[in-house]
Amino acid sequence: MGTFTVHVKWGKEKFSDVELNKDESPMVFQAQLFALSGVPPERQKIMAKGKTLKAESWDSFIVKNGMTLLMMGSADALPSAPVQQIKFVEDMSESDMAKAYNFPAGLTNLGNTCYMNATVQCLKAIPEIRDNLSKYVGQLSVGNIMSDPSEAITISLRDLYKMMDKTSDGIPPIVFLQVLHTAFPHFAEKTEQGVFQQQDANECWTQLIRMLQQKLPAQKSMTMGEGAQCVGSSLIDQYCGIDFETTMQCDEAPEEPKTISTEKQYQYSCFISQDVKYMHTGLRLRLSETITKASPTLGKDASYTKTSLVSRLPGYMTIQFVRFYYKEKEKINAKILKDVKFPMSLDVFDLCTPALQERLKPMRNKFKAEEERKLEKKMAAVQSGVKPMETDAKKTTFPYSFEDDIGSNNSGYYELSAVLTHRGRSSSSGHYVSWVRQPDDTWVMCDDDNMSAVHVDDVLKLSGGGDWHCAYVLLYSPKQLVVEEDTTVKIAETVPDEAGEVKV
């Protein structure tokens, strides 16, 4: 049937150059109009030359390039009679539960698109990305979808997040899926049954970050001081970029000079081997590896030891569990099911260069002093037998970034914010789910458009070891120091003595 470019008149507004593909269901076209106007598909009435578009087919609905279609429908909810009725939790539907508990909006599975839904939910847990997307200027068009994939991805993700912020119901991310398929055609591959194939969620995560990295400009905060600098040219570089200082030493020619360089990554790989029982052990394995490359001294390929240390910490640390490996015989990405424990609070001080460790110490000392103050207050209350009362004292939140490096982490401390899990035996099959911490420190499991509250203990059970959901990608947010006003001055003046002890 083909693709057409049409104009749509809706009241006093007119949307120009809207793509209409007759090879797809009319619902896809209606979803685009939903994104443009806010009129839900069920309230849209689309007409052309006296004919009304049916939701199930294009039959008898004639379309030509450049023609104008008329759309009728209200973007506001239709008024309904007030109903006062007591509803018990046991009688609530999943939609009612989502509204009652103020769950975030879920995303409808459009056919093996759970990998995309889980990734979108996890990335939404980074407020700086979410906030800067909302300020991004631009409109989705046929032109940028075809010629500038990063522009189309950025705009469509912005629009999807805006829709998610307006409701707690499930949203069909049809437009965003179309843009993703256009930008990355392999995500649109189908099975013999004609349904979309399952894709690797971490690959989707990596590609979306790469697209945003090209479009979201670096942030300059006036509150960070005149010396504040932009790391790289992108917001993603600032808040997600990890710098590794790497040293290459030739094992077969010790006299060959070492080469030192800096590598930027947006994920920290956690390697899983027989001996890895805890995430931190896997992170340390990333710091030393053996590779083969050409040796200028020997004039041939030789074995090199590559050692790495983190020289710059981002505000948000993404850690990928390397759970999949390619099985040549079966031609699949098989999964390592091993149980690897991960913490709710992460400290990466020992993974950093000595120079960065020195920069981290002042803020770490402030954290330590505040912990000691709270402990002393608690012990004093126990000894006096008087329970400490909650006060209305003003609290001060310290910046988590260095003054000269916006988006960095100045302490090495992190808190778990989101987990993307996989259930199954292969990355190209099974099911992906996201588990996201809410602002009130509760957790929600986002299983496509099924949202449910979970306990933090349930999150810690995602470490693997069987066919249950296994952590695949983890997002850690910066731990921020919050103190009461009367302790701010004391903490700011703490200085470690020669033994490393802190005295207030």
pLDDT at 490 over 50: no
Give the chain's domains with CATH numbers: 3-73+97-215 (3.90.70.10)
What pLDDT shows up at residue 77? 54
* Enclosing H/E stretch for 45: strand 45-48
Closest residue by Cα to residue 297 from 335, 260, 265, 254? 254
- Could you say which DSSP state residue 185 is in? G
Q: Specify whether the CB–CB gap between 346 and 270 falls below 8 A.
A: no
Q: What is the pLDDT of residues 305-356, one digit of tens each?
A: 999 999 999 999 999 999 887 776 766 777 888 999 999 999 999 999 999 9
* Helix, strand and coil in the chain, % to nearest 5: 30, 30, 40
What is the DSSP code string of 77-92? PPP---------GGG-
Q: Single out the residue of 343, 346, 342, 348 nearest to residue 470, CA to CA.
A: 342
Which residue in the block uniquely carries the two structure tokens 């458009």? Answer: 449
Rank 125-134, 136-145, 164-173 by mean pLDDT and report only the highest. Answer: 125-134
Structure tokens given for 256: 């060959």
pLDDT digits (tens, 9 = 90+) for 463-488: 998 788 999 999 999 999 999 765 44
Per-residue model confidence (pLDDT) at position 394: 80
Cβ distance 235 to 132 under 8 Å? yes
Distance between CA atoms of residues 293 and 295, nearest Å: 6
101 or 205: which leads in pLDDT? 205
Predicted TM-score of the model (pTM): 0.77
User: Smallest Cα–Cα separation from 415: which of 335, 500, 329, 347?
Assistant: 347
pLDDT of residue 96: 53
Q: 416-440 pLDDT, tens per residue?
A: 999 999 998 877 789 999 999 998 8
Provide the annotated active-site residues.
114, 431
Q: How confident is the model at residue 391 (pLDDT cuts 50, 70, 90)?
A: low
**Residue 51 has what pLDDT?**
85
pLDDT at 83: 53
The yes-or-no verdict on residue 499 having pLDDT over 60 is: no
Tokens 């091993």 appear where? 338
